[in-house]
Copies of this chain bind each other. A is one copy, B any other.
Amino acid sequence: MNVADQQHFAWLARTFGRTDYLPLSPDDLRALSDAGEFVEKYPGTHLFREGQPAEAAYVVQRGTAELYRGPKAGLRVVARVGEGAVLGDIAMFRGEPYISSARAVDTVTALRFTRNRLLPLLVEHPVITLRWLVAGLSQLEATQRRMLRLMHRTVREQVAELLLDEADRYGEVHLSQASLATLLGASRQSVNEALGELRETGAVETGYRVITVVDRDRLKAAAGT
């Protein structure tokens, strides 16, 4: 996979890869608890790595995990997912290697379902399988819809939307402009320019590796829709 593709993958992953759909209700999880293994990952450690055989899927219970691709040099953060996210299920079900790596940002607790134990269990609990199926298909459809909203939009609009999504409770987004650009599949320069314009209007403030949302309404306006 060449560099351009890799970049686009990141963009793509942000766009679609929101694996934080939750097919399982608490009841379901209780039913599956036998098959699930409780794991706790410290910041910086890996849940799984790109290319490894996908032996398990994870349901994040607490904390934030980061999905990324690529070798240490040229690493691309692909998405950040939190509580309720399901990681690695596609690769696991298909029996293929993981498509990306997952790393704990802070302390992450998760339920780990190995393929060998999960599949038989799903066969016993068809309702859960059905729920998973519906969640998966919904994801597929949402993916397509999201395209509509994303295609043919300017970098400024995309940046605005991303910031709205990504801002923490203090309205801060701790990402370098380069990372931001990668997430959007745009160039750093364009992102920089877009941020400059958003700053002019008073929607955000920018700093070193941090962007602060000061006026969500203005940002929403800039995001268009």
Interface residues of A (CB under 8 A from B): 4-5, 8-9, 11-13, 15-17, 89-90, 93-94, 99, 119, 122-127, 129-130, 132-134, 136-141, 143-144, 147-148, 151-152, 185
Residues of B within 8 A of A143 (CB): 16, 140, 143-144
The SS class assigned to the A binding surface is helix
Whether A16 contacts B93 by the Cβ 8 Å rule is no
Whether B119 contacts A12 by the Cβ 8 Å rule is no
Whether A122 contacts B132 by the Cβ 8 Å rule is no
What are 17 A-B contacts with C-beta separation under 8 Å?
Answer: A12-B144, A12-B148, A16-B143, A16-B147, A93-B134, A94-B134, A122-B130, A123-B127, A129-B130, A133-B133, A136-B136, A136-B137, A136-B140, A139-B140, A140-B140, A140-B143, A143-B144
**Smallest CB–CB gap between A157 and chain B, Å?**
13
**Smallest CB–CB gap between A155 and chain B, Å?**
13
* C-alpha spacing A109/B141, complex, angstroms: 26
Residues of B within 8 A of A9 (CB): 148
Whether A141 contacts B8 by the Cβ 8 Å rule is no
